[in-house]
Amino acid sequence: MAERFLEISLDKRQVSCTAKLLDDRAPITCAAVWDALPLAGDVYHAKYARNEVYALFPPFAAEEPPLENPTVTPIPGDLCYFSFNGTQLGSQAYGYGSTGAGVRAGATLVDLALFYERNNLLINGDLGWIPGIVWGQVVEGLDAMADACQDLWRSGAVGESLSFRRA
C-alpha cells in the first residue's frame, strides 16, 4: 500500500501540520479514519494527559477498532484514537456539560488527538489508565503546531476547531 498522509489544522489560528498514517501498525484504525475524512470539530486541550489537543466525534466506523498499536505514553507528533462512552466523560470535571460535544449517557464518542510535546501520560483520575491507538505520526510542521497548541492552552480554545483532511 502506498503511504498516506493527512493534514491536521487549527483552523482559526491558520496553522497545520502533515502526518503519515501508520497503516503497517494500526491498519484497521487508519482505514476507519481515512474513510471518514474530512473531520472537524471543536478543539479541546487535555487536562490530564498534558500536551494534547483533541476533538470529539460521533462514531464513524462500522465497528470500533481493536486496541492496535497501543500506548499510554504518547510522544510528540503521535496521533491517537480513543473511544469513550458518555458515562466515562460525563463528570463535570471534564467541562463538556454545555459544549454540545455529545457527551451523554449511552453515547459513544471518538476522540482524535494530537500530542505536540513530550512527557505525556495517559492516566485519568476517574478512569485510570487510558491506552490510545497510535495511528499516525506528524512528519512536517510539528514545531508551528506545538506553538499554536501552547497558545490554545494559554489563550483558550473557544471558537477554535481541529480539522483532519487528506493531504
Q: What is the CATH number of the domain that holds 115?
A: 2.40.100.20
Which domain does 109 fall in, by range?
A: 5-166
The letter for the amino acid at 119 is N
Cα separation, 32 vs 30, in Å, equals: 5
Q: How many beta carbons lie within 10 A of that of residue 36, not counting itself?
A: 16
125-151 pLDDT, tens per residue? 778 899 999 999 999 999 999 999 999
10-62 pLDDT, tens per residue? 999 999 999 999 999 999 999 999 999 999 999 999 987 899 999 999 999 99
Provide the number of structural domains found in the chain.
Answer: 1
| E strand segments, 39-160 | 39-45, 52-57, 70-71, 78-85, 108-115, 123-124, 128-129, 132-140
